[in-house]
Structure 1
Amino acid sequence: MEDIKALVDWSTDHGATLHPSVEVYDDPTTGFSFRVKPSSENPLPAWDQVVSLPTRLSLSYLDVIHAASSNPIFPAEFVSQTPPHVIGRFFLAKQYLLGRDSFWWPYIQALPQPADEDSWCLPPFWPTDDAELLEGTNVEVGLEKIRADVRKEHAAAAALLKQHGDEKDKEISMKLYQWAYCIFSSRSFKPSLVLAEEEQTRLPDGIGINDFSVLLPLFDIGNHDMTLDVRWELQQKPHNTCELRVGRSFQPGQQVFNNYSMKTNAELLLGYGFMIPPTEELHNDYTHVRKRTSSPSASEEYYISRRPMAHSSSLLGRYRQELTVELPEGKSIIGTFQHVQPDMVWDIFCTLCQPEERAQIMPSDAATLEEQEVARQRQFFSGDVKQGSQAHAYLEHTMGIIQHKVMQELERLEETEVELVDGQEGDLTRNQRLALEYRRRCRAVLENTLEAMGLEEEAA
């Protein structure tokens, strides 16, 4: 706890504040966390300020840019030829190497340390035997891409620093860069959400405000609760600060959470190293299915859900879907479509059947074109089309495509399945337990979806 005391003291000495009823403690499951002091006589009221941080304490690419003219941190050649998000990671690594000479040392020494790989290593950098357990799952492609990107980034940046940098720059190894990547991945914030407008405008030409991310010491202590309504409020007086406010009351002794935004367990595993366990009230297990084509403004993925998309516990599924289909009383979505994002279903159908043909085979007397399309969606999703008709043929074709995709994903999982012998489970590492649990979650998503399709076929 000395590390945390040093961080809190350093932060508050430089203008940060914690709510009088809030403290930082070491939770056995979540590590350093916020909670309402057990000794507090009152709960923490909803929307009270939990923590306030002057944004000048943030650590990011911006610090490199702002220091460039007076006291350059990296050589100009490196800064001009390296992406801003990579510069931010190298900057964090350099601050670590500076040790107590770094302004941010009280923050850095409270982070998971590079030598303790188990405390920070995300799945892309797991040992080979551990990472292989994620083969066949829908995070496999993401793992490979991250690994390849990080290797390429470090090689290019290290070559520039070898030629132009100082001795500390040349000490930033691949392992230290991986550590910095994981710290930023699991703890950082989008600048557009946590920095004042004047801070967002001081960027070189061609650099967007979200081309990099920022670390917020102390502010980043809050752990993730995706059901929580939170505000990251910016204040400009007496100085630029970012405040965490939470839309729920917490009792003495309870942990106080943040919300990292809506992320599936696949995204949380890759980017943060944990998953949300399923409960009756909430599940977060979704298989990501990549779109064949997508417009620049649209999502690149569809989602298949462990439970029906309309289920109250499918919070993220409903949040992410662009298309909402509301059926009349007495009608329900057919089984094949229940676990699948409606956008995926409708996009497949619209690829098979162009607008003119849709209007012909599923006529509607609604007043506007938009209302006519809504009426067709209701027909299609409920299966309310005439047997033997062209519309029914398209319905079966769409169902077949979805069923084939789900079976394909399940086959990939089964081809890479791992069989544990009796007694072996006790010898598994934390990474291996996490990977096997993720495999079980993936299987549950796919088998539940196929079961819903099978029930529909039995009823037909």
Structure 2
Amino acid sequence: MSAEEILQELRQWLERNGGFFHSQVRLKQGFESYWNQVDSGFSVVASENLPADSKIVSCPFALVITKDLALGSLSTLLHSTARDLANWSERQLISTYLSFHWIIGDDESSKNLLRHFPYVKSLPTLDKLRTPLHFTQAELELLKGSNLYGATLDRQREWQAEFEECRSAVSTVNREWADKFTWELYLTAATHLSSRAFPSTLVSRNLTLTSPGDPEPILLPGVDSLNHARAEPVSWVQSYLGSGPVPDAGSCISLVLHNPVTAGAELFNNYGPKPNAELILGYGFSLPNNPDDTIVLKLGGPQGGRWEVGREARGADPVWDSVLSAVQCDEGSEPSYEDHLDAADALAHMAQQLLDKLPEVSIFTPHGAREDVALMIRHYIEGQREILESLIQYAEAKEWHGEIPAVET
């Protein structure tokens, strides 16, 4: 099928099952997004002028991909009980469920268990994904010295261990399925989940800001079609219909855009304030001069901890307090002027060491790297460098503007 046919099938499938796209929007292959880094999917574009507060897309609860839906389907496919798969994570269950659409194919006999083929077919293929787990070795080497390099290696180890566990379970049931269940297939599905997941609280009848426990990742076909724009005013709206034997029959989750949109413009969702490290690792894109950029700082010892510091040293005060406490000579008393000097020197030294470790970035694309990947890395490293430089300035200000205690005469 052509890309246009796949997108049309997605739209028709959504509408047949009680969802919809606004009649005045169209699904277009490729990005219209302003960062224009890579064509890794499709975009949603206004065919006509749309007023403020337009409901753009709606996904029925019946099509939401949850851990429980994946668990039920996989238990039947693998002739297992839910207890056998109970130790699998949400990522393992949903990623394996998505993968099975390709392992078995669009087969009539499996449609009751694998109901999302029109959605799965619309998702970006492996060659179009750009998280660091899809970088070439030469591209990954460009991150050496940064926090993102270590985070990438940690994620790869974790996801590969998950995959091996899943594949082993599949292999005991059907060797042919296991042969088709490759690392590349699992990686693709897991990346779709990391880049498109919504919190399960969005489809909960008991939605509160203080819901106990961590929300689970879910997929909302159609609603996840819009690309990201920082600070775009949007709402995710629940609509509950029906209260018969199937209470959620007809219920849906919709995306509403609060700004008007002119004809021909792309429509955007808002993924929330995310630093480039998170955008690159989980989504495969970056933002230039991202105001939400942070760097993770870890301090050892009794006063240690883990903090995120942003641009202009935002969030540096707890780090300063920890460093000051660590260098303080007389515990239990007020820090002396010398303590402040020592803390300022220690904080500046720590920031300078991290700064020196960062890889150099160039306006030119390094040899062996794809242009869009090099651009992401440049956005990320520039943000890390600016944060550390601001932290050094913060430490210098603490040194020069500290209060000198009065001398008794």
Q: Which residue is equivalent to 1:252?
A: 263
SS in 1 for 2:28: strand
1:220 aligns to what?
224
Alignment check: 8 A CA contact 1:75 1:165 kept? no
Pair 1:179 & 2:191 matched: no
Q: Residues 289 and 209 from structure 1, CA distance in 2 versus in 1: closer, same or farther, beyond 3 angstroms? A: closer
Q: Is the 8 A contact 2:66 2:217 kept in 1?
A: yes
**Partner of residue 309, structure 2:** 304
The residue type paired with residue 67 of structure 2 is Y
Take 1:34 and 1:451, find their aligned partners in 2: how far apart are those partners? 43
Task: Tell me the residue number matched to 1:45.
Answer: 52
| Cα pair 1:21 1:44 within 8 Å, conserved | no
Cα distance, 1:455 vs structure 2: 7.4
Aligned residue identity for 1:157: C
- CA shift, 1:397, in A, is 3.0
Counterparts of 2:395 and 2:131, CA distance in 1: 35
1:259-292 CA deviation, whole Å, 9 max, x = no partner?
21221111111111111112xxx62332221354
Report if aligned partners of 1:302, 1:344 keep a CA contact under 8 Å in 2.
yes
Task: Could you tell me which runs of 5 or more consecutive residues in structure 1 were left unpaired when the two chains were aligned.
Answer: 200-207, 310-339, 362-389
Counterpart mapping for 1:397-408 below 5 A: 397-408=342-353
Q: Secondary structure at the match of 1:82?
A: coil
- Considering Cα pairs closer than 8 Å and 6+ residues apart, tell me whether 1 or 2 has the greater RCO: 2
- Residue type of the alignment partner of 2:376: L
TM-score with structure 2 setting the length: 0.79
CA contact (8 A) 1:120 1:183 kept: no
Deviations 1:392-441 (CA, angstroms, capped at 9, x unpaired): 2332233223212211111211xx54789xx8658741323432443333
Following superposition, the deviation at residue 221 of structure 1 comes to: 0.9
Aligned match of 1:156 = 165
Which moves more between the two structures, 83-92 or 72-81?
72-81
CA pair 68-174 structure 1, distance change in 2 beyond 3 A? closer
Query: What does residue 317 of structure 2 align with?
Result: 342
Q: Distance in 1 between matches of 2:362 and 2:14?
A: 49
Q: Distance in 2 between matches of 1:99 and 1:284?
A: 41
Listed as ranges, the matches of 1:185-196 within 5 Å are: 185-192=194-201, 194-196=202-204
Is residue 63 of structure 1 aligned with residue 48 of structure 2?
A: no
Q: Distance in 1 between matches of 2:261 and 2:159?
A: 40
CA distance in 2, matches of 1:419, 1:33: 30
Q: Do the aligned residues in 2 keep the contact of 1:64 with 1:73 (CA within 8 Å)?
A: no
The residue aligned with 1:140 is 149
- 1:268 maps to 279
Q: Size of the alignment, in residue pairs? A: 371
Query: Letter of the aligned partner of 1:411 in structure 2?
Result: D
Q: TM-score, normalised by structure 1?
A: 0.71
SS at match of 1:100: coil
Mapped contact 2:235–2:256 kept (Cα < 8 A): yes
Identity of aligned residues (%): 20
Aligned residues: CA RMSD: 3.4
Describe the SS at the equivalent of 1:131.
Answer: helix
2:28 aligned with 1:25, yes or no? yes
One-letter code of the match for 2:262? Q
Alpha-carbon distance in 1 for matches of 2:306, 2:190 = 24
Structure 1 residues 82 and 74, CA, compared in 2 at 3 Å: closer, same or farther? farther
Following the alignment from structure 2 to structure 1, what is the Cα–Cα distance between the partners of residues 231 and 88? 38
Unpaired runs of 5+ in structure 2?
A: 108-113, 208-212, 243-249, 403-409
Greater Cα shift, 85-94 or 24-33: 24-33
Structure 1 partner of 2:121: 109
1:269 partner amino acid: I
